[in-house]
Amino acid sequence: MSDLSGNALLKVLETILQELNVGILLVDRDRKVLRWNQFMAVHSGRPEAEVKGKDLFDAFPELPQAWLDKKLRSVHILKNPAFTSWQQRPYLFRFRHNRPLTSDMDHMRQDCTFIPIKDDNDEVEYVCIVVNDVTENCIFQGQLQQALKQVQAMSVTDALTGLYNRRHLETVLGQEFKRARRHKRPLSVLLFDIDFFKKVNDTYGHRAGDTVLQSVARLCQEMLREHDVCARYGGEEFCLVLPDTDLEGACVVAERLRKSVKQERIEVDGNEISVTITIGVCDYDDTMPHHEAMLDSADEALYEGKEQGRDRVIS
């Protein structure tokens, strides 16, 4: 097999240039386009003959001119390759991608490399811009991040009600307890459960019971401020953490919630169900050793409320 040289070598290199599944264009010091391979022609809809010899910015006025001009000048001055990823700039050329519509992106995501081509005096005469289509990787990464977010959400969320679960609530309460102690800020906890919930399940079935839990959870969420946290504490028991709220303010919230639940009419399979709740309220006391003491105090108040006949707020 003979070695390639001369025109034969040029022909091979030209074939490679045109068949590579990456975009390749060559520009001179004045940004005139000297080469424009098949990838660029296909995705831009403009053949090399139409682009060649033109100023890159005249041919594609939608390019980020200030940014790209700065990038090209840095390659000329530093004489080193430069690189930009789609995370830094989603794309250089506004090409449509041909992937299925599985994401909200309209345009091809691109990694771009800027390669200096030097003359005999070691001066940069041309810059070769290599455009890599990384849309597939970008879509996959987005799907992966979304899946991780879902897993993370599942780890802290109660599946039935959509509220936080007990583990997450205790984590948040621990943090708020430390903040209240450090900054001497008020903090309150509401612990409540649905009165005679077993009777709901026994009378109407567990599906109706689930609907009741979801309705109560929704009413709780509707009352939350931005920094409040509500969780399903277990079974028919719920807990609210109210940062920057003293006992008086917490009792106002609790009473409003109690009335809201009592007035709610829950429709399940043609049946209208109404329930009441009993709420124990506790506020932060700097003599408390840890956040569990707040939960214990709220639980004691809840128990007292049940002893007094339920459907009430006790602090």
Residues belonging to the active site: 236
Q: Which of 162, 267, 261, 276 is nearest to 208 (CA)?
A: 267
